[in-house]
Structures are given as structure tokens and as C-alpha cells.
Amino acid sequence: MSNQIQDYNPSGIAEMNGNLLGLPYDYESANLIIFAVPWEVTVSYGAGTANGPQRILDASFQIDLFDFDNPDGWKQGIFMVEIPQDILEKNHYYRQQAAKIIERQAEGKPLTNTPDLTPVLTEINQAGEQLNQWLFQHCQTAMNQGKKVAVIGGDHSSPLGYFQALAAKYESYGILHIDAHADLRDSYEEFEFSHASIMFNAMKIPQISKLVQVGLRDICQDEVDIINDSNGRIIAYYDHAIKQKLYSGNTWIDICREIINHLPENVYISFDVDGLDPKLCPNTGTPVPGGLELEQAYCLFRELVNSGRKIIGFDLCEVGDAEWDGNVGARIVYKLANLLNLSQKNSTYGN
């Protein structure tokens, strides 16, 4: 492996070696380990995000490695662990079971009607808990070896086990959350680990001191109430309010700095691609008109790094099962990896 790295030409053609971007690293030699979580059991609109990790991997071989923010970012060592087929198979099974529950609810009938679906709901919730434990253990093992970790979903329920692993390592950290949705629903459609409940579940983790949400534009009253009643623990930047500021002459860079001022020293980025304009990832699970341009999101992340804060991890979720979506997703993963690396080298916050 050391000879492969030494002889590697970053301007050459990517080797289809099974690793993200065709990079010449394995688990041992890499400093950033990426786990794929091909899971979308509770998806309530468009399906296909369980195949997002594979689409991202496939598209990554076409991406040039030079990055303007961190030209040598690839040298940090990036390795994407093989996509777990057993989890993908479980996803297919439980997705079919969840569809029965969603259909029953859409009919306005109780789960206890014949056939009784409450045991099915219990089974799905247990499967979600097992997935969280699986990811927690893998993330903790990697972090105990001094490695950084990232997650590619699946739907947005995917990274909860990673949140929990970070909470075991850090006394306090904040989440910068890019999304069209607040994901603050309590057990949406009665699924405890729903994609629409990831941030509700995150707020149960006391080490998460702040949640700053950017791009929200599809939200329910209960979620607005949770945000308003959070005593500043949750800060929402709604898409319409961002646009109104921009149309009034405020600059995006000033808005970015205002957003970042709410965040603590250690920051985790949770990126749902439906936070972007849907032209960028049209096959995401729940697309919503509006949203950020990709460079707006990158600008926000650059300002996070420039502030001296440290990016401690990230996830990218809800990438659809299509070539274009995978292309955009792969670029986001690589950009986040490079900015994470840059922030680790440049962190001056609190000094």
C-alpha cells in the first residue's frame, strides 16, 4: 500500500479499485473512513436513496482530485468501506413491511385492525435500533484508532449511531444541518427512527449543544413549536427568510457568518441534499422547490473553516438512485472531506 501511495498520480485516470475516487488507500492507511448506510426503511415519498452510496461511489471515479480549497486534500487518506450488502437486503425487507404500515395509516385505519400490524411496527423499530448500534460500534472503533469518520446514507435516519459515537468522544458539539425539512417529528408515522425524526432523536443526546438548520422550507407546526421552545438550542434559517434577506441587499457571506456565530468549537455537518435546489439532486426522496445553490453551501462551509471552528465529521444523505444525483453527491462528499481536513489543520477557535 505504501508503494501504491508513493507512486500514485493524482492527475491520472482513476483506478476502479472499489474505493471512493479510486484513491490508493485502505482502512489501515486512511485517516478518513467513510461508512455507507444503505437504509431507507421509513421513506414516505420517493424511494431509491438506499442505492445512493453506490451511485456516489460509481460517479466518484470521474471526478478530478484537484480541490481549490485544499489541493492536497486527497493525501489525508480517504477510504470508503465496502457497502454492506446484508444491510441493503434487510432494508429491502423492512421497507416492504413499512409500506404496509404507511398504507394503513393513509387509509385512516388503526394498526390494530386485522391483520394487526403493531408487531410489524415493533420489528421495524428494533431493526432501526440494531442499525444504530451497528454504526455506533463501527464509528467508535475507527475513532478509537485516531481516524475521522463520515457517513453516506440512505435516508436521513442513517447517521444517528454516528451522532451517538461522537457524543461518547466529545463533551459538546454542534450540528450544522442543511435540509429542506427540520426532521424534528416525534416518531413520524409511528417509526421511532424515521428519516423525519433524525434531529428529534439527535436532540435527545445531551452532548449536542446546538442545532443550526439552514434551508428549511417544508415544515409542520409541531416542528416550528419545538424550534421556538428550544431556548436557543435550535436555530432555524428558513429558506424564505434567507431569500428575503438576499433580495433586500444583504450578502450571502454576511448571512453565512451570522449562521456560524451560533455554532460551538466542534461542528458536525449533516447534509440532506434536498436542502439544495432540486435541479441538483432531482431524485432525492422528498424534493422541495427552492433551496441553496451548491456553491452557497460550499461558501457556508468555507466560512465555518475560516472561523477557526473544527469540523469533526459529516454525513451526506438522501442522494437519489440516478447518475446525475450520484455525480453531485460524490462531489459534495469529496468537498466535505477536504474541508474537514482543512479545518483540522487550521483550527484556531478559542486560542
Closest CA to 329 of 131, 44, 48: 48
Query: Residue 216: in which H helix or E strand, if any?
Result: strand 208-216
| pLDDT of 239 strictly over 70 | yes
Per the structure block, which three cell numbers stand in for 44? 414516505
Closest CA to 196 of 83, 28, 22, 40: 40
Cβ-in-10-Å burial (0-12, 13-18, 19+) of 197 comes to buried
CB count within 10 Å of CB 203 equals 16
CB count within 10 Å of CB 231 equals 6
**pLDDT tens per residue, range 41-82:** 887 777 899 999 999 999 999 999 999 999 999 999 999 999
The amino acid present at 270, given as its one-letter code, is S
- Confidence class for position 351, pLDDT limits 50, 70, 90: very low
Contacts of 165 (CB under 8 A, 6+ apart): 135, 136, 139, 140, 143, 149
pLDDT of res. 56? 98
pLDDT averaged over every residue in the chain: 94
Q: CA triplet 114, 130, 168: central angle to 5 degrees?
A: 140
| pLDDT of 208 strictly over 80 | yes
CB 176 within 8 A of CB 304: yes
**pLDDT tens per residue, range 121-139:** 999 899 999 999 999 999 9
**pLDDT tens per residue, range 149-175:** 999 999 999 999 999 999 999 999 999
CB count within 10 Å of CB 67 equals 19
Report whether 155 belongs to an annotated binding site: no
Report whether 72 belongs to an annotated binding site: no
- Confidence class for position 1, pLDDT limits 50, 70, 90: low
Report whether 195 belongs to an annotated binding site: no
Q: Helix 252-260 crosses helix 294-306 at what angle (to 10 degrees)?
A: 50
pTM: 0.96
pLDDT of res. 347? 63
Closest CA to 238 of 316, 290, 304: 290
Report whether 186 belongs to an annotated binding site: no
Which 8-state DSSP code applies to residue 331?
A: H
The architecture (CATH level 2) of 3-346 comes to: 3-Layer(aba) Sandwich (3.40)
> How is the chain split among helix, strand and coil, in percent rounded to 5?
45, 15, 40
- Domains of the chain: which residue ranges? 3-346
CB 21 within 8 A of CB 76: no
Q: Please compute the mean of the pLDDT values over residues 265-273 and round it to a whole number.
A: 98
Per the structure block, which three cell numbers stand in for 207? 452532548
CB 149 within 8 A of CB 32: yes
